[in-house]
Amino acid sequence: MWRTLGLASAFFPGLFALCTRALRWAAPAWSSRDRVLLSGRVVSTVQATMATVSGLTVVLSCGDVVRDRHWLAVEYIWVLVPYMTYDIYVMYLCHWHKSQEKGVAEKKHSLASVRSFLLQERLMVTHHLFILIVLTPVAQHFRGELGDFFVGCIFTAELSTPFVSLGKILMQLKMQHTLLHKVNGILILVTFFLCRILLFPFMYAAYARQAGIPLYLVPFRIPLHCNIANASLLAPQLYWFGLICRKAARLYGRSPADKSS
């Protein structure tokens, strides 16, 4: 536990610092904002890839979805804790740099800039804090030695993140009108829907098959806190999926005349 926490606490900020330093050398004309944004997205992609691989490993290793164990289901939680803490800070940095460019932020960091960040990014910050304060104790202690399969499933929700990050990077590089951006947009929709929306019915169906009961009975057979945790995770995903669909409608629904203008 402590070794994993220490390594992850050094790895993510270290990778972020390495990326910003490399961009300062490779793209000296870029602003600090551009370097921070791109570096944050690179680190996010690395973490998402690690989480997805860990999750798939756990899911494919657990034949019994309730009782089978895999060490990654426990150990990777201690990677997520420092990452989520780091990510909140990087989100704040991104917000501050964007505000600087718009001329609505003070030159130095202040309580006002923190308050502005918390107001604008309240949903994402709440999501991160929920994982840190609620889901981490549940996953590490309160569930006992049951449910590694479902923890692995939650890890795989990160599959869509690399495509989301790539889409933002392409927009940052002014490549939002390319074929790559359009194909990536489709991949965002598909992976987000599969791994962040259908993931929850899939987990309930896996339990129903294991227990030999109809799917509709699963919410009444599992502990209440499991239903509450799943609902709390699913709700923001539905909101974000709605935003993604609206963006996709604007991207793919424009006429050729609109796109050329």
Query: In this structure, is residue 241 part of a structural domain?
Result: yes
Q: What is the pLDDT of residue 158?
A: 93
Query: In this structure, is residue 113 part of a structural domain?
Result: yes
Which residues does 118 contact at the CB level (< 8 Å), separation at least 6? 125
Query: In this structure, is residue 65 part of a structural domain?
Result: yes
Domain total for the chain?
A: 1
Q: What residue numbers bound the domain in which 93 lies?
A: 2-252
Q: What is the pLDDT of residue 104?
A: 57
Provide the 8-state DSSP code for 141.
I
Q: What is the pLDDT of residue 94?
A: 87
Query: In this structure, is residue 118 part of a structural domain?
Result: yes
Burial 119-133 (b: 16+ CB within 10 A, else e): eebeeebebbebbbe
Residue 84 phi, psi (nearest 5): -60, -40
Q: What is the pLDDT of residue 215?
A: 94
Q: What is the pLDDT of residue 30?
A: 87
Q: What is the pLDDT of residue 257?
A: 47
Query: In this structure, is residue 106 part of a structural domain?
Result: yes
Q: What is the pLDDT of residue 114?
A: 85
Query: In this structure, is residue 260 part of a structural domain?
Result: no
Query: In this structure, is residue 261 part of a structural domain?
Result: no
DSSP codes, 151-199: HHHHHHGGGGHHHHHHHHHHHHTT-TTSHHHHHHHHHHHHHHIIIIITH
> Averaged in consecutive runs of 10 residues, what is the pLDDT profile of the chain (261 residues)?
90 95 88 90 95 96 92 92 94 84 64 86 88 84 84 93 92 88 91 94 95 94 88 90 86 55 40
Query: In this structure, is residue 221 part of a structural domain?
Result: yes
